[in-house]
Amino acid sequence: MSRAVLSIGSNLGDRLAHLRGVVDAFAPWLVGVSSVYSTAPWGGVPQQHYLNAVLLVQDPAAGARDWLLRGQELEQVADRVREVRWGARTLDVDVVWCAEHRPEGLRVCRSVDPTLTLPHPQAHNRAFVLLPWAEVDPDAVLEVQGRTSPVRELLAALDPAERDGVRLTELTLRRAPQ
C-alpha cells in the first residue's frame, strides 16, 4: 500500500475543469484535497497564472510509479503538450512524495529515475506545492538533502515573495452533492 502527495496545476483552457477531472479520476483513492490556489508561473516563462492544488491519495495496490502513470494518463486526456520546460499546460500532475506501508512501518519512497525523482527535488522551493500540502496535511514532513523538516517550516523559510505569489481562491474541487 502506498500513500502519495500529488501536486496538480493548470493554466490553459478550463483550468478548474482540468483540476476537477483529476479529483474525479482519483476519487477512489482520495484521502484529502486542498483548496484551490492561484499561482504566478514558476520558471521564468511568460504565461497566465495557474490554478494549483494538492491531493493526498492512498491505494493498497499502487506504488509510486502507478501514481505517476495515472497522472500522465490524465495529462494525455487533457491534451498536455510538453514543448517548453516550465511552459503553459492544460494539466500537470506531479508525484511530490510517496511512502509505502510496510510491516516495519512507513517507508518513504526514493527514486533518482529522471522520469520519477522522489521526493520531488524542487518541492521545498515551491510555495504552490508547500502551502496546499500543509493545508491538507498539517503534520507533513519532507526530507531535503538528508534532513527531514516539517512542510510548514520549509514554507516559512521561503522568500516572502514566493509565498505571496500563491493566493487562496474561492474555487473548490469538490462538487456539490446532486
pLDDT tens sequence across 102-137: 777 778 888 888 888 888 889 999 999 999 999 999
What is the per-residue pLDDT for 178?
47
Query: CA 64, CA 86: separation in Å to the nearest integer?
Result: 23
What is the per-residue pLDDT for 84?
65
What is the per-residue pLDDT for 55?
97
Over the stretch 67-99, which tens digit does the pLDDT of each residue have? 999 999 898 888 777 666 666 788 999 999 999
What is the per-residue pLDDT for 176?
53
Distances (CA, A) of 36 to 20, 26, 145: 10, 16, 29
Look at the block and give the residue holding cell 492561484. 38
**How many CB atoms within 10 Å of residue 4?**
28
Q: Which residue did the predictor score with more confidence, 20 or 120? A: 20
Strands 147-150 and 141-144: antiparallel
Query: CA 37, CA 52: separation in Å to the nearest integer?
Result: 5
Query: CA 85, CA 169: separation in Å to the nearest integer?
Result: 26
Instruction: Let me know: does 16 contact 78? Beta carbons within 8 Å.
Output: no
Domains and CATH numbers, the chain: 2-168 (3.30.70.560)
| Cell numbers for 21 | 477531472
What is the per-residue pLDDT for 177?
53
What is the per-residue pLDDT for 50?
93
Over the stretch 129-156, which tens digit does the pLDDT of each residue have? 999 999 999 999 999 988 999 999 999 9
Model's pTM, two decimal places?
A: 0.91
* Non-local CB neighbours of 38 within 8 Å, separated by 6+ positions: 49, 50, 51, 52, 166, 167, 169
